Amino acid sequence: MNTEIISTGSELLYGKVLDTNAKFLADNLTKLGYNVTGIHICGDTKETIGKNIRQSMKEAQLLIITGGLGPTDDDLTRDALSDSLNLKLEIDNNLKEQLEKMYFSREIHMANNNLKQVMLPEGAEAIPNDIGTAPGIKIVKDDIMIIALPGVPVEMKKMFSNKIMPILKNRNPYNFNFEELNFLGIGESNLAEKIAKLSLPDEVMVSYQAGKGQVKLRLKEESNQPKSRQSKLTEAVNMIIDNFEKYYFSKGEEELNKVVAMHLQKSKKTIAVAESCTGGLLSNRLTDIPGSSAYFTGGVTTYTNESKQQLLQVSKDIIEKHGAVSPETATAMADGVKKLFKADFGLATTGVAGPETSEGKPVGLIYLGLATPTEIKTYCLKIDYGREMNKWVASQYALYYLLRHLWQRGGILK
């Protein structure tokens, strides 16, 4: 069922606040099997809200509006509904009584403009608000269901979850089936070109999202079968993972550092990091996970050649001969930090984060060193996304190579 969301509020148009309400609604509506076709943010005037309501009624059979139900002069959703649906506003005596009781019990003076909140378009139903003073509104007009909820996120979310979701579940028993797969080490267009060559089941739609040093692949199975009967999605997921094992690292919202942490914990191994170009980011990401002290023994950011020698025992010879940005230095750093913190793994980064070049080497040339219990491997990156992003992508690959090693040892992949 097509659904549109309208968020009202000038603070959203000024770009002062993120519209988290619409995201929450879209996420939940999608999970319930509703097809969100548009999200519209508009200002606080009766005319613009009305225009958006009329426009969305052309597109959808369900319409959810947030904001503009409060008591002040710029709360105009109620009036916009009345105008655009041609329904008179009437006092709802039940609501009035409830509101008066609430103020009385809280021993607060009820301002006159609060009376606005007990008005409803004729034929509308009030949706109780257990936290705030503004009730929601439900109207069905020309077979289109319109629901207006307050804009305060905590009130809106509670009312939607407790009062609206049960209604919506009954209206639409068919769900989408959904999965997200995360990849690293392959570009969006390259991955898309290769996946287009697989014969995935026709029922499964594929879309991509690139960003922050990884590619997210979205798979959606649309069908008229209830959720339990759908299975083409699993087939597609398995096909893709089998074919792109080398690049795949997680499902859904599971971030790379979390996957790495999980595997370190599972295998009871410890890690220490030596960072030059990533400057502490790797250490920071590994310690973002609760319980990280179980696998993370320590890290050093060695920004000078002297500290690489002193703390990590990188020989002066290596640095003089090959430079600080070299596979040789990455190897020595990984080995040195593994020993320094008595860890099972040592992970090292050295490179040119930019914007200035270094040792005559180009920005974005980065070497990674991974010391495992039995050997030391090095990897080379050539990237150029600006300093902060270079640091991020280098940390992504460092974690990724570590993860691949853990997987190969543990034989766990899917």
Of residues 350-379, which lie at the interface with a second copy (CB under 8 A)?
Answer: 353-356
Candidate ranges 121-129, 254-262, 326-334, 386-394; the one touching a second copy (CB under 8 A): 386-394
Nearest CA to 369 out of 385, 353, 351, 356 is that of 351
Which residues on neighbouring strands pair with residue 376, listed in sequence order? 371
Q: Which span (137-145, 159-167, 237-245, 284-292) binds a second copy, by CB under 8 A?
A: 284-292
Give 170: exposed, middle or buried? Use CB within 10 Å, 0-12, 13-18, 19+.
exposed
Instruction: Please report the beta strands in 317-371, taking only residues with DSSP state E, as ranges in sequence order.
Output: 345-351, 365-371
Sign, CA dihedral 226-227-229-231, equals: positive
82-111: which residues touch a second copy (CB under 8 A)?
106-109, 111
Residues 144-163 that bind a second copy (CB under 8 A): 152-154, 158
Site string for a second copy, 289-328 (x = CB under 8 A): -xxxx--xxxxxxxxx--x---x-----------------
Site size for a second copy (CB under 8 A): 111
Nearest to 146 by CA among 193, 98, 86: 86
How many Cα atoms are found within 13 Å in the side-chain-facing hemisphere of 71? 11
Stretch that binds a second copy, among 27-35, 89-97, 315-323, 401-409 (CB under 8 A): 27-35
Shorter beta-carbon distance to a second copy: residue 18 or 320: 18
Map the footprint of a second copy across residues 174-213, applying CB under 8 A: 178, 180, 187-190, 192-193, 196, 207-212
Among 77, 84, 129, 133, binds a second copy (CB under 8 A): 133
* 112 sits near a second copy (criterion: CB under 8 A): yes
388 interacts with a second copy by CB under 8 A: yes
With contacts defined by CB under 8 A, name the span among 18-26, 77-85, 92-100, 167-175 that binds a second copy.
18-26
Map residue 310 onto helix, strand or coil. helix
In angstroms, the first-to-last Cα distance of the chain is 34
Beta strand pairing call for 62-66 and 2-8? parallel
CB-side neighbour CA atoms (13 Å) of 406: 23
| Minimum CB–partner distance for residue 166 and a second copy (Å) | 19
